[in-house]
Amino acid sequence: MPRHAHYVPHGVIPAVILPFTDDLDIDEKSFRKHLQDVAAVKRLSAITVNAHSTEVASCTFDEQRRVLAIAQDEIGNKLPIINGIWADGSLEAARIARMAEAGGASALLVFPPAPFTLGQSPAMAIEHFRRIGDATSLPLIVFQYPLATGQGYPRDTLIKMCEEVPSIRAIKDWAGNVSQHEMQVRELQSRKPAVNVLSTHSAWLLSSLVLGCNGLLSGSGSVIADLQSALFHAVKADDLAEARRINDRVYPLARVFYADPWADMHNRMKEALVLLGRLPRAVVRPPLVKITRAEIDRIRAALVEAGLLTQKTARDAA
pLDDT in tens, 202-260: 999 999 999 999 999 999 999 999 999 999 999 999 999 999 999 999 999 999 999 99
The Cα 231–Cα 215 span in angstroms is 11
Sheet strand arrangement including 11-14: 11-14, 215-218, 196-199, 168-173, 140-144, 107-110, 81-85, 47-49
Using an 8 Å Cβ cutoff, are 31 and 68 in contact?
A: no
Using an 8 Å Cβ cutoff, are 30 and 22 in contact?
A: no
**79 has pLDDT over 90:** yes
Torsions phi, psi for 13 (to 5 deg): -130, 95
What is the per-residue pLDDT across 88-127, written as a single tens digit (0 to 9) for each? 999 999 999 999 999 999 999 999 999 999 999 999 999 9
| Listed residue (123, 113, 198, 197) closest to 157, CA to CA | 123
Helix, strand counts (H, E) of the chain: 12, 8
Running DSSP on this structure, what letter comes out for residue 116? Answer: G
Q: How large is the average pLDDT for residues 23-39?
A: 98
Q: What is residue 107's three-state secondary structure?
A: strand
The Cα 175–Cα 262 span in angstroms is 15
What is the per-residue pLDDT across 170-203, written as a single tens digit (0 to 9) for each? 999 999 999 999 999 999 999 999 999 999 999 9
Using an 8 Å Cβ cutoff, are 200 and 172 in contact?
A: yes
What residue type is 161 in one-letter code?
A: M
**Rounded to two decimals, what is the model's pTM?**
0.96
Running DSSP on this structure, what letter comes out for residue 15? Answer: B
Q: Where are the domains of the chain?
A: 11-238
Cα angle value 89/15/180 (rounded, 5°): 70
| Fold (topology level) of 11-238 | TIM Barrel (3.20.20)
